[in-house]
A and B are shown apart, each in its own frame.
Chain A
Amino acid sequence: MASDRLVASRVVDEAGHIVPCPPSYDPSMTGFTVALWIVGLALEAILLLRGRKIGLLGQFPWFYSYMTYYFSVSLVSFIIFRLRPDLYATSYWYFYLVSLLAEFAVVLEISDHIFEPYLALRDLARFLIICICAAFFVLYVFPSLTHSHPFSTALLDFSLRVSLTKAVAILALAAAARYYRLRIGRNVAGLITGFLLYLTVYIVNFSAAEKFGRSLYANILRFLGPLGSIVCLAVWAVAMWRAESAPATGRRIGGSEGEALEELIDQVTRFDNLLSRLWRK
């Protein structure tokens, strides 16, 4: 029964390749689906134009590059869907796999924005994200690729696991900021919130798609993906409407980066020596 459902969740492109049905796949292209698509495109355009107007493009280069990519892909996918629906599923997965990489860059950008003025924590946060992603890839994502199941199922499973990895990395960043009692600015808080909402919707969507196939997509789940994206875009549009980052707490120290690093290394070394002294005793 389950395998029948999985077969139903695949589509066959012109070259005869079996590809999994995209989460937003709606072959009948109802008015509601078109409306969702247009609202998504409009929100992406608003985000980009507003970002340009208030000068956020330079502050969040990876995020706006990702948005530009997302906008272009949405537009191209819409055209493909209208003109060559048989190519839609294949193109969707190509675009999606490229966007996975871009999303990791945005996660790193979020980290840099939270911890930017704090030299030691900035690199520590990056290291934390890289460790989390590497650990998840080795222990969670990679094993799913080695299982002998159909390519279409493997792709859905891979997407699901990568989405979960990104969600955990973002949560770890938010937890680290909380641990150090850092105020997260409105822009970055919005990015985190939108991203996590989008990822959680995709996690649910991919897991359901993998399990139930198009029998459910035909009713509710095909709207869940686009709705998740729209909620995410709306949160981003509100959060990025004004440029507003968190003020750095504590006193500020000037000088060159080398001097600042040396000074900080000396201070941390003193703490390290103090703790080591107790342990060597």
Chain B
Amino acid sequence: MAPRGYVVIALLIVLLLVLLVREVKSDEASGLVREKQDIELWWDDKFLNLSERIFDSMDYRWLREEIGFPDLARSLARFRKKLALRWLRAFRRSLGETLLVPRHFRPGGGASHFFRRWRLLLLTLRLHIILGYATLVVYLFGPHHLTTLAFSWMRFIPESGSYKRRTGKIHLGHSR
């Protein structure tokens, strides 16, 4: 690359530095925490069933194929897409809030925590990847394509042992 190219890169780095390191405003800083009261909502069965409807194509197909309202079906799909993107954004915020709880613990047991830390890292990483992928799929194709574009690698991390021990179940509140 010519020096001119590197000068442009250097200027870009300085510009990004100014944008990224500037002071986070107090209302911005609390943005993730503001959703705190909504976190329990995610585990509510009624809310979960409603959430599933957003990504379910049944209503769309019923409108378009069974009663023959393709325009209405398209309108529903557009609305659901917006809703799905907002749902994913809210989900990301709630996850962020969970991850952003500062934990101050007694030191000790360093080596024995190695695998727990790895597990947590993989889980967090996977959730971020899935969320990014889901947002992209919904943005490009709509909410009804998540199932068809899902990856089989999604379940490569086993369930948490302590969670299974405490709750006696693997998945959330109720079975489908």
Instruction: Decide whether A and B are members of one complex.
Output: yes
Q: Are A260 and B98 interface neighbours, CB within 8 A?
A: no
Q: Are B97 and A178 interface neighbours, CB within 8 A?
A: no
CA of A275 to CA of B16, assembled, Å: 33
Q: Are B101 and A250 interface neighbours, CB within 8 A?
A: yes
CA of A183 to CA of B27, assembled, Å: 12
Q: Among the listed A212, A265, A268, which residue makes an inter-chain contact with B3, where contact means beta carbons less than 8 Å apart?
A: A212
Residues from chain A with Cβ under 8 Å of B51 in the complex: 278
CA of A274 to CA of B87, assembled, Å: 12
- Which residues in chain A, 121-150, are within 8 Å of chain B measured between CB atoms? 121, 123-124, 127
Q: Are A258 and B21 interface neighbours, CB within 8 A?
A: no
A53 within 8 A of B: no
- Which residues in chain A, 101-127, are within 8 Å of chain B measured between CB atoms? 117-121, 123-124, 127
Asked, given contacts A178-B24, A197-B14, A278-B146, whether A265 binds B119 with beta carbons under 8 Å apart, the answer is yes
Q: Among the listed B16, B103, B126, which residue makes an inter-chain contact with A272, where contact means beta carbons less than 8 Å apart?
A: B126
Nearest CB in chain B: distance from A205 CB, A? 9
Number of CB contacts from chain A to chain B under 8 A: 229
Nearest CB in chain A: distance from B143 CB, A? 10
B125 within 8 A of A: yes
Q: Among the listed B42, B99, B113, B163, which residue makes an inter-chain contact with A266, where contact means beta carbons less than 8 Å apart?
A: B163
Q: Among the listed A177, A184, A271, A279, which residue makes an inter-chain contact with B98, where contact means beta carbons less than 8 Å apart?
A: A271
- Interface size range of chain B in the complex: 35 or more
Q: Among the listed A177, A180, A200, A280, which residue makes an inter-chain contact with B150, where contact means beta carbons less than 8 Å apart?
A: A280
B75 within 8 A of A: no
B100 within 8 A of A: yes
Q: Are B103 and A249 interface neighbours, CB within 8 A?
A: no
Mark each residue of chain B from 130 to 160: 1 if its CB lies under 8 Å from any CB of chain A, else 0: 1100100000000000110010001101011
Q: Are B117 and A261 interface neighbours, CB within 8 A?
A: yes
- Which residues in chain A, 85-108, are within 8 Å of chain B measured between CB atoms? none
CA of A281 to CA of B172, assembled, Å: 14
Q: Are A267 and B98 interface neighbours, CB within 8 A?
A: yes
Q: Are B24 and A183 interface neighbours, CB within 8 A?
A: yes
Interface residues of A (CB under 8 A from B): 117-121, 123-124, 127, 160, 164, 167, 171, 174-175, 177-178, 180-184, 189, 192-193, 196-197, 199-201, 203-204, 207-208, 210-212, 248-262, 264-281
Nearest CB in chain A: distance from B27 CB, A? 10
Q: Are B150 and A253 interface neighbours, CB within 8 A?
A: no
Which of B100, B113, B159 has the most A CB atoms < 10 Å from its CB? B100
Residues from chain A with Cβ under 8 Å of B130 in the complex: 275, 279
- Which residues in chain B, 6-61, are within 8 Å of chain A measured between CB atoms? 6-7, 9-11, 13-14, 16-17, 20-21, 23-24, 28-33, 42-43, 48, 51-52, 55-56
Residues from chain A with Cβ under 8 Å of B146 in the complex: 278-279
Give 17 A-B contacts (CB < 8 Å), ordered by A residue.
Answer: A117-B103, A119-B103, A121-B124, A182-B29, A193-B17, A250-B100, A252-B101, A254-B106, A260-B105, A261-B117, A265-B123, A269-B163, A270-B172, A274-B43, A277-B172, A277-B176, A281-B147
B67 within 8 A of A: no
- Chain B residue with Cβ nearest A192: B21
Q: Are A175 and B20 interface neighbours, CB within 8 A?
A: yes
Residues from chain B with Cβ under 8 Å of A267 in the complex: 98
Contacts A184-B24, A193-B21, A277-B171 known; list 19 others, CB within 8 Å: A121-B124, A178-B20, A182-B29, A184-B21, A196-B14, A204-B10, A207-B6, A210-B3, A212-B3, A249-B30, A254-B105, A261-B116, A262-B162, A266-B166, A268-B98, A271-B42, A273-B159, A274-B48, A279-B147
- Chain B residue with Cβ nearest A175: B20
Q: Are B109 and A124 interface neighbours, CB within 8 A?
A: no
Mark each residue of chain B from 64 to 104: 1 if its CB lies under 8 Å from any CB of chain A, else 0: 00000000000000000000000000010011111111111
